Structure 1
Amino acid sequence: MENQPDKVNPQERERLMSFIKIMSAIALALGVVSIIVGILVFVYHGGGGYPVSSGVGIWYAFMPIGFGILGLVANFSTDEKTQRNTLNGHYVMSILMLSMGYALAASIQGLVTCSQKEAKCGSNPDEQIALHAILVADVVVGYFISITSMVLHLKNKSILHPDWKYRKGCCGKVEGDK
Structure 2
Amino acid sequence: MEDQTLKVNPQERERLLSFLRTMSAIGLALGVVSVIVGILVFVYLGGGQYPVTSGVGIWYGLILITFGIQGLVANFSTDEKTQRKTLNGHYIMSIVLMAMVYAFIAAIQGLVTCSQKDEKCGSNPDEQTALHAIVVAVTVVGYFLSIMSMTTHQRKRSVLHPEWKNHAGCVYTSYIYTILVSLWL
TM-score by length of 2: 0.88
SS in structure 1 at match of 2:131: helix
State the shift of 1:105 in Å: 0.5
Unaligned ranges ≥5, structure 1: 170-178
Unaligned ranges ≥5, structure 2: 170-185
* Residue 121 (structure 1) aligns with: 121
TM-align CA RMSD: 1.3
* Residue 131 (structure 2) aligns with: 131
Alignment length (residue pairs): 168
- Greater C-alpha Rg: 1
TM-score by length of 1: 0.91
CA distance in 2, matches of 1:119, 1:45: 11
Indicate yes or no: 2:67 matched with 1:38.
Answer: no
Q: Which moved more, 1:135-144 or 1:61-70?
A: 61-70
The ranges of structure 1 where at least 4 consecutive aligned residues each deviate by more than 6 angstroms after the TM superposition are none
Task: Among all aligned residue pairs of Structure 1 and Structure 2, give the percentage whose two residues are the same amino acid.
Answer: 73
**CA contact 1:71–1:86 (8 Å) conserved in 2:** yes
As a proportion of its length, which structure holds more helix?
2
Q: Report Cα offsets for 1:31-72 as digits up to 9, x if no partner.
A: 101100000000110111110111111111121111101100
* Residue 78 (structure 1) aligns with: 78
State the shift of 1:4 in Å: 4.1
Q: What is the correspondence of 1:145-156 to structure 2 with a 5 Å cutoff? A: 145-156=145-156
CA distance in 1, matches of 2:30, 2:45: 22
Amino acid across the alignment from 1:125: P
CA distance in 1, matches of 2:136, 2:46: 21
CA distance in 2, matches of 1:46, 1:54: 14
